[in-house]
Amino acid sequence: MVKRSRRKGTTTQRENLAQPSKWRLQHGGFGDAVREADPETGRPVQHRYAVDTLGLMLANGTITREMHDAGAMFRKQFRMAALDGLRALPLLRVPGAGSGEHVTEMQLQARTRVADAIEALGGPGSPAGACVWHVVGLEASIAEWARREGWGGRPIGASQGQGVLVGALGVLAAHYGLTRRAA
């Protein structure tokens, strides 16, 4: 949207707040927009969605169903362990009840399972462990992880990052007992 200023010949650019910002679009994380009619008003709306890396890799035949399921199990445990950094505000705050940073028994068990899986991948400092933590657990894109984190603090190519993830998912599938034995 362009708005003319009172001065002759000058214009200012306004950001359309209904769309993701130009910065957000250039940094990825969104697929193509889906256009449909709003059920309440009937007016056309655009919905943007985050890309499911594991789902795309399964659909492309890059990974097997067992590898996908292993990644989904890790993601579920990661969320249950509350390691993603996203926190909701408590609906009920009791004054003097402390900071609210207590870990529940369920979270503690999930954290143990996540730690075991990361250790099976070679630890948090290994390429497989770091890749699964960031791409599957924190749901960053492979390209973002490869560019920002890479291995040993050095960026790697996105295709190498995908190879690291494929190998890591194979190890996770074996760790969770999801692999089929060849006859």
Domain boundaries, the chain: 10-47, 53-87+102-175
β-bridge partners, 30: 50
Could you tell me the two tokens for 119? 């250790």
**pLDDT tens sequence across 94-119:** 555 455 567 789 999 999 999 999 99
pTM value surpassing 0.85? no
For 116-154, the pLDDT digits (tens) are 999 999 999 899 999 999 999 988 889 888 888 777 778
pLDDT digits (tens, 9 = 90+) for 9-68: 555 556 555 555 665 555 555 555 667 777 788 787 776 556 789 999 999 999 999 999
> What 3 state SS string does 23-73 have?
HHHHCCCECCCEEEECCCCCCEEEECCECCHHHHHHHHCCCCHHHHHHHHH
